[in-house]
Structure 1
Amino acid sequence: MSGADGWDADLLREGLVAHGFTDDGVRLRGPVPWRRAGAETWTRVEIEVDERFPFHPPHVRLLDPGAQLEVTFHVDRAARPGASGNLCLWDDVWSADRAPWTAPDALLSRIAGWLEQTAAGWPGDNVCDLERYLEADLTTFVLYDAESLARLKGHFVRTRRGPTDGTVEIWNTPHRLKKRAGRPGFSRTDRQLAWVEDLGRIRRPVRSWADIHDALGERAASVKRLIAAGSVNLVLLRYQRGDQQSVLALTVKYAADEIKVRACESADTSSQTRQMRAGTMAPQLADVPIAIVGCGAIGSFTAALLFRAGARRLTLIDHERLRPGNVVRHLAGLEQVGAWKSAAVRNCLAAIDPAIDGVRDLTTAMTSADEAKLLVQDHRIVVDATGSARATSMLAFAANTTNADAGKAVVTVCAQRDGDVVRVDRLPARGAEPLLPPLPAVDDQTELRENGCGSPVSRTPPTAVVAAAELACCVVLDEVAGHCELPTSVAFVSRPQPEQPFDHIGLVLPGPLPQDEVVK
């Protein structure tokens, strides 16, 4: 059996045979030496190499531990009762060209290390993957708030249908069972319940209802009774491994005088989890007041990127409505056509994270320099995404006449030449920083016009819109962090232009200052 070019499963098989393994053409069986309490011991394993080799490691199963060994973590659920599950020896970070399982010595060494870790109880391990030790329920996805769940230990809670098919949401308050006067059984309100328990620091996985029964203690009988009655269909178990905490969500069903337990995928909806992927600057951005003037194509994506990065004090300003023709380049979809653009963007942000109390949407037009100055004074950064020379000149005037020590900045972003060039300028300049030269507009005799819209339609494609928004966000983040690494002007050229320095593809920065103008 041959794998990808350069890897031959036959070579692995031959190497294992040389180590004392037998080979029946499908599975190899043989000894693996390892050390326990300083003494050498031997374990017999079964190794199976399938057609996915070398992109997937061989399956390895224990045949005879050779010593008293409690198999706990890092082993898959057995395919059938009484069988041994595959040992979990490697994660997914290995590429085939570096895969150590292609060499017999490396494979046997890894198995020996797994045995030694198992015998020692996996010290320092913090992998929270209890789902892998149980049969999977692939139809249910449970949503819970970890912060609330921590207060619900030993309680029944109500559940409800989630936002999509198959999702179930956990209520954040305990549910009190109601006894029916003069009749046995449970009230109609005692339906679709979940039981929440805290296992604390676990030493072995949960593999059956018997393990849960032991953890529930004196509460086990009442929980089992409600499961048998069909009132409880979920059990949520909080647990800790190492310094990590997690939740195991289980669907439970009573049948043939026993409770069948299956693990389902679950996810935390708390604000902390929603912000985990926002980036390292999220805490710093959260309290920075930022205004975005112009919530069209570029402005809408700039708002989304900043919001996703952690900005929570945003002022969105635009006096136009969202039109059907806008949608191809806009953050909002057809369902918001007719809404004010600023409101449509705020609605999109709410779909990313409902914590939008600090996001304001205004449907006003900036008509004077005084209004521009007030906007700059009230915000740490003003992003000008208007595409309007008049608005840009007013905001530039406001930026350059504001006290330099106030730490304010106006970041102007635009796409030019049908999106072939995207550009960002930050004002006021620091010292004598130069700006990139202007790129003159090119007369277009075949302007696109949309019915009912007075302004010509730009041919800038969506890719250039997103590129411009990304560049603007980079400048904003540099300004907020105080890195001062980006110059006053920065542009990206996707198609060379006749004018220098825009005559080559790539990032374009201003030239160096003359030596006598360098700020000391």
Structure 2
Amino acid sequence: MFSTDIDRWREDFPALGFTDDGERLHGPVLWAEPAMPDQPPTVFTAQVEIIPGAAFPFAPPMVRLLDPGGPLEITFHINADNTLCLWEDDWSVDDAPWLDPRKLLDRIADWLQKTAAGWPGDDSCDLERYVDQEDDPRMVLYNATRLVPDQAVQTEGGPEIICITDRARRTGNIVNGRRRNRKDRRLAWVADIGSVVRPIRSWDDLAASLGTHAADVSRLIKMRVITVILLRYTRGGADAALALRVHPDDAGIRIAACESADTSTLTRAVRAGSVRTVLANVPIAIIGCGAIGSFTAELLFRSGARILTLVDAERLRPGNVVRHFADLQHVGWPKPHAVRDRLSAIDPDVTAVTVSHNRLTVLEEATALVLRHRVVVDATGSGRATSLLTAAVTRLDAGSDGTVVSVCVQRDGDVLRVDRMPLRPGENHMSPLPTVEHTSQLRERGCGAPISPTPPGAVVAAAELAIRVVIDEVTAERKLPATVADVRKPQDQPPFDVVGWITSDPPERAAS
């Protein structure tokens, strides 16, 4: 929508009772107060100002309430600049409802009616928008499962974050305006204020929510002992928190909102997907912690898997890191140890991640791995290791629920392939793609074998394909067949001559 389109949009407002000075539209919006039993609703006429700002039409116009036309306590869904928050979600400009003036006015009327009713059923937890924003850009972090309300706790600072700890400080020893300990500074006050019925906009609002603790907290703020307040609250049944920086000024106490985040395990796991709880209790081994194996471990760990065994006999080389989950700081580390260390950056609790800097060489070792794990992922790219694991799972077929998932990239990443073993009744593996003579001239000093030019994207895609098969197995959905391949570039042999997914059996047959 260009300037001429905006002009046409403005042309519809005069017929709706609006005046237009070329910048602002000013006019009436009819809205009805919630009706009482056996009484007709009272209709009011509000006066509003509409300004299509710089972001319009890709964002709604700015709307300010000049006169509600009747009694109205404004509480939620209004921005710090007093513009109404009419839509929470983004819209494509082609479908944006605010481009229809009548829909825009209906939305304003709906906002007025819901405000008069107290926003019933609303669960928007965004109290930050009602408070001035702090100039300090640091994020405030806290662990919601460890906080005890109505006490002062220590904080730990850094260039990007302020961490609220669970180490309480006794503030009773801070008397006569003096701090007796260096730790009696930059404290945070934690409070649980329950269900909120109106936003907090000032220190007076905040003090009212703190109840009997307000006087002590005020004193400690003025002594610059407490500098952060964390309010835990609920709205519409949803739990939330508001972090505020507080400090004294000439007018009393100034409050400003900070960006904050919960560091608890539950919050960090909520994006892991629906299979998180299943994967958490499934023992999975990854044999081969090179490129594909390292990203398979990462994706499984991010998805909720915690009982992992990582096996590889090699050390990480500088050239590996281009296609590896680990980075340069892990060069020289055994690959399983490097992967485990990187996993600890996602979740520090890696106590159930076992590492083995060994090579799989004998059938007894392969059999033991299959017996101890629900799934063994073969990411070695080694014919010997794959044969050992295939023999192990085959001979245990009748007495074990262990599964081997073998993943590899072929022809320099043009084909990704995953095979699951043992076969179920009626299944077959896809015929192998014939190997071709390796033409790569890429070599690394100190490394005897040629280097594959497989791109990093193919490695990550192969790992993702592998975990699809793993999840299909551990959730007992069993919708995927024994072989799944992703052809990224057509090859000279059917069925690998067509780009896309190919399988050994139709999914419905494999699942039966």
Is the shorter-chain TM-score for this pair beyond 0.5, marking a shared fold?
yes
Aligned match of 1:155 in 151, 155, 159?
151
3-state secondary structure, aligned to 1:305: helix
2:111 aligned residue (103, 111, 114): 114
Q: 1:471 to 1:434 in 2, by over 3 A?
A: same
| Structure 2 equivalent of residue 61 of structure 1 | 64
Aligned 8 A contact 2:480 2:511 in 1: no
Q: Deviations over 1:121-145 (max 9, x none)?
A: 0001111000000111151210001
- Correspondence for 1:16: 13
Measured at CA, do residues 502 and 219 of structure 1 come closer, stay the same or move farther in structure 2, by a change above 3 Å?
A: same
Of 439-448 and 106-115, more deviation after overlay is shown by 439-448
What is the alpha-carbon distance in structure 2 between the residues aligned to residue 194 and residue 396 of structure 1? 58
Do the aligned residues in 1 keep the contact of 2:279 with 2:305 (CA within 8 Å)?
A: yes
2:74 corresponding residue in structure 1:
71
Correspondence 1:183-198 to 2 at 5 A = 185-187=178-180, 188-198=182-192
Kindly provide the CA deviation profile for residues 385-433 of structure 1, in whole angstroms up to 9, marking residues without a partner as x.
Answer: 0010000000011111113453210000000101111100000011131
In the alignment, which residue of structure 2 is the partner of 1:337?
331
Separation in structure 2 between the aligned mates of residue 136 and residue 92 of structure 1, nearest angstrom: 22
The residue correspondences of 1:1-400 to structure 2 (distance < 5 A) are: 3=2, 8-36=5-33, 37=35, 38-78=41-81, 85-138=82-135, 139-149=137-147, 152-162=148-158, 165-177=159-171, 179=173, 185-187=178-180, 188-400=182-394
Aligned length: 503
CA deviation after TM superposition for structure 1 residue 180, in Å: 6.8
Q: CA deviation at 1:228?
A: 1.1
Q: Does the 8 A contact of 2:403 with 2:421 survive in 1? A: yes
For residues 102 and 303 of structure 2, the distance between their equivalents in structure 1, rounded to whole angstroms, comes to 46
Deviates most, 454-463 or 229-238: 454-463
**Deviating more after overlay: 369-378 vs 209-218:** 209-218
Residue aligned with 1:406, SS: coil
The amino acid across from 1:104 in the alignment is P
Q: 1:443 and 2:437 equivalent?
A: yes
Q: Which residue of 2 aligns with 1:81?
A: none
CA distance in 1, matches of 2:419, 2:169: 57
Distance (whole Å) between structure 2 residues aligned to residue 197 and residue 400 of structure 1: 59
C-alpha change, 1:87 and 1:42, in structure 2 (3 Å) is: same
State the secondary structure of the residue aligned to 1:284: helix
Q: Deviation digits for residues 260-279 of structure 1, max 9, x if unmatched?
A: 11000000000000001000
Contact 2:440/2:450 (CA < 8 Å) preserved in 1? no
Paired amino acid for 2:179: F
Alpha-carbon contact 2:479-2:510 (below 8 Å) kept:
no
> SS in structure 2 opposite 1:424?
strand
Shift in Å, 1:446: 4.5
Runs of 4+ in 1 over 6 A off after TM superposition: 517-520
Partners of 2:362 and 2:299 in 1: how far apart?
29
Output one character per residue of 1:45-103: Cα deviation in whole Å (capped at 9) or x when no partner: 0000123222111111100011110000000012xxxxxx0100012332111111001
Q: Which amino acid aligns with 2:48?
A: V
Residue of 464, 468, 490 corresponding to 1:470: 464
Report deviation, 1:460. 1.0
How do 1:490-505 and structure 2 match up within 5 A?
490-505=484-499
Contact 1:3–1:52 (Cα < 8 Å) also in 2:
no
The answer to whether the 8 Å contact 1:383/1:411 transfers is: yes
Separation in structure 1 between the aligned mates of residue 197 and residue 506 of structure 2, nearest angstrom: 62
| TM-score, normalization by structure 2 | 0.95
Cα gap change, 1:71 to 1:180, in 2 (>3 Å) = closer
Secondary structure of the residue aligned to 2:138 is strand
Q: Distance in 2 between matches of 1:153 and 1:459?
A: 56
In 2, Cα distance between the equivalents of 1:369 and 1:51? 69
Inter-CA distance 39–512: structure 2 relative to 1 (3 Å threshold): closer
Shift in CA distance, 180/23, structure 1 to aligned 2, threshold 3 Å? closer
Counterpart secondary structure, 2:198? coil
Please say which of residues 166-175 and 424-433 is displaced more in the overlay.
166-175
- Gap runs ≥5 in structure 1: 79-84
What's the secondary structure of 2:309's corresponding residue?
A: strand
- For residues 229 and 102 of structure 1, do their structure 2 counterparts lie closer, same or farther at Cα, with a shift above 3 Å needed? same
Separation in 1, partners of 2:193, 2:351: 36
How far apart, in 2, do the equivalents of 1:211 and 1:519 lie?
60
Report whether the alignment pairs 1:408 with 2:405: no
Aligned-pair identity in percent equals 52
Q: 1:178 to 1:322 in 2, by over 3 A?
A: farther
Give the Cα separation in 2 of the matches to 1:519 and 1:277.
28
Q: TM-score, normalised by structure 1?
A: 0.94
For 1:82, the equivalent position in structure 2 comes to: none
Matches of 2:470 and 2:510 in 1, distance apart?
A: 24
Structure-2 separation of matches of 1:63 and 1:387: 70
Are the structure 2 counterparts of residues 132 and 344 from structure 1 closer, same or farther at C-alpha, using a change threshold of 3 Å?
same
String of CA shifts for 1:276-300, please: whole Å, max 9, x gaps.
Answer: 1000000011000000000000000
* Partner SS, residue 316 of structure 1: strand
Give unpaired runs (5+ residues) of structure 2: 36-40
CA distance in 2: counterparts of 1:349 and 1:190, whole angstroms: 36
RMSD: 1.8
